[in-house]
Chains A and B, each alone.
Chain A
Amino acid sequence: MSLSNRITPVLKEIRPVLSVNHAEAKRRVLNLYKIWLRQIPYIRVDYISNNWTEPELRKILKENFLSNKNVTDIRVIDRLLVKGQMDFVETAEIWRQAHNAALFDRSMDTYKQKPKHFLERFYEGHH
């Protein structure tokens, strides 16, 4: 009918950042998780003033990885991987300090959190 039906559509290929398909991205993610896991005993000692235990650190690592669970775009996953690897290098080489490393730990957040339960909201005054 129109010209576009007779002309074959040109496929625009997206340039990959790091990985070409989901399988490769998954492999990279698991590798990153593995090197962070292996580094956990050293993180505990290097940033000892945070009073972390190894199970706590594993939980923190898990939380950080699972927060990006629902990302499907491969290029976004690659960007997150690169950031994760940069964070790893900074943590391993001790270019961070204790408070800087504690940024990964949400339980150590110091901002005043919104009250969740009834009693907390009652004490706040506006429920």
Chain B
Amino acid sequence: MFSIISRRCLNITLRYCPFAYQVSTKHAHTLSKKVVTNTICNSKLQIFSYNQNRSLTLDEWAEIGKKFETPDALTPQKLIERVMRVVNDFDKVKEAAKTEVTETTHFMNDLGLDSLDHVEIIVALEDEFGFEIADVDYDKLYTPRAIVEYMIQKLHINTSPPPLPSSDSDPRHNIPH
């Protein structure tokens, strides 16, 4: 029985033992993760394959790291750009605004939009920033400047200037003697 099997599988050495053992076949690529093992169980040849855990190359780690990247934090400048883009992309605003839409243009008074158009703008802002804007806040959002301030409050955007590097020691450790 064993001699017949060994004649068929020329590259595989067989022994009658029920445990799996590692074997490299002729066609297996040397760098592949897949490892083929052969067992004999009840005198039948059964082939199992599994992925061997191997250490990853630097490129592979970089690929994995891309999944965990977070976007850059919103600065007030970027926020203003996004809000103005959303407002300017609106059809009615394009028609109504012969001059450019600035931060202080009032939707109702200057551009002549009505409350339903205002709701459409708010829906567009919700889609852009990804959170629901409550009913009570509709009254606050009549100019782009007000929208920016509202977003800064809601998204907790840091508006203070970054600390300047200095050669002073850390003031937290200035313990008066």
Residues of A within 8 A of B (CB): 26-27, 30-31, 33-34, 37-38, 55, 58, 62, 65-66
- Do the beta carbons of B138 and A30 come within 8 Å of each other? yes
State A61–B159 Cα separation when bound (angstroms): 40
Can you list 12 contacts pairing A with B, beta carbon distance less than 8 Å? A27-B135, A30-B119, A30-B135, A30-B138, A31-B135, A34-B119, A37-B119, A37-B120, A37-B123, A38-B123, A55-B91, A58-B120
Name the residue of chain A whose CB is nearest to the CB of B117: A62
- Do the beta carbons of A33 and B119 come within 8 Å of each other? yes
Name the residue of chain B whose CB is nearest to the CB of A26: B115
* Residue picked from A26, A27, A34, most chain B C-beta under 10 Å: A34
Give the chain A neighbours of B115 by CB distance below 8 A.
Answer: 26, 30
Binary interface profile of B, 113-150, with partner A (CB < 8 Å = 1, else 0)? 00110011011000000000001001000000000000
Taking a contact as CB atoms closer than 8 A, the residue among B116, B123, B135 that contacts A62 in the complex is B116
Size of the chain B interface, CB-CB below 8 angstroms: 9
State A37–B138 Cα separation when bound (angstroms): 16
Give the chain B neighbours of A30 by CB distance below 8 A.
Answer: 115-116, 119, 135, 138
Give the chain A neighbours of B123 by CB distance below 8 A.
Answer: 34, 37-38
Q: Given A26-B115, A30-B116, A37-B123, output 13 extra A-B contacts at Cβ < 8 Å.
A: A27-B135, A30-B119, A30-B138, A31-B135, A34-B119, A34-B122, A34-B123, A37-B119, A37-B120, A58-B120, A62-B116, A65-B116, A66-B116
A25 to chain B, nearest CB (A): 12
State A33–B120 Cα separation when bound (angstroms): 9
State A38–B119 Cα separation when bound (angstroms): 11
State A31–B120 Cα separation when bound (angstroms): 11
Give the chain B neighbours of A38 by CB distance below 8 A.
Answer: 123
State A27–B122 Cα separation when bound (angstroms): 14
B130 to chain A, nearest CB (A): 14
State A58–B119 Cα separation when bound (angstroms): 12
Name the residue of chain A whose CB is nearest to the CB of B138: A30
Name the residue of chain B whose CB is nearest to the CB of A66: B116
B142 to chain A, nearest CB (A): 14
